[in-house]
Amino acid sequence: MTKNVLIVDDSPVMRSFVKRTIAVAGLSVSACLEAGNGREALERLRSAAQAGAQVDLILTDINMPVLDGEGLLRELRLDPGLARIPVVVVSTDSTDQRVDALMRLGASDYVRKPFPPEKLFQVLSGLFPEWSAS
């Protein structure tokens, strides 16, 4: 089963790395959208919804300009049309307190940068078991 994914990171290099990691892992993705910050991510999500497309997964960094990952997560969980989308935080900011706070806000999981591709595959196939059978 294919998924639509939104990768949110202010680093184009990291967005590209995450995108390649998903491809190398063999996860079936129909569309891979990108955003450079949380505000841009919300705009992309709402535009996709208006076009009749649905985003199935968000992978986001925390530390970004305009609207950071924590702010994005808060806004997502307050929006009934977006609240159901699983969000995996991918960040170097990995103190236990920070991770716990993000999980309480509704993050589905957390991956610490840098990460081996296998770690991302493990987390994503845990969220979407059908991907592990692909």
What span, in angstroms and rounded, lies between the C-alpha atoms of 28 and 130? Answer: 10
pLDDT band at 133 (very low <50, low <70, confident <90, very high): low
Fold of 3-129: Rossmann fold (3.40.50)
For 98, counting Cβ atoms within 10 Å of its Cβ (0-12 exposed, 13-18 middle, 19+ buried), the class is: middle
Question: Which comes out higher in pLDDT, residue 48 or 39?
Answer: 39
79-125, pLDDT tens digit by residue? 998 999 999 999 988 789 989 999 999 999 999 988 888 888 899 88
Mean pLDDT of the chain: 91
- DSSP assignment letter at 111: E
Which residue ranges make up each domain of the chain? Answer: 3-129
Structure tokens at 51: 């076009």
pLDDT band at 132 (very low <50, low <70, confident <90, very high): low
Calculated CA dihedral for residues 42, 116, 131, 46, nearest 10 degrees: 0
pLDDT at 35 > cutoff 60: yes
Q: Residue 28: its pLDDT value, please?
A: 83
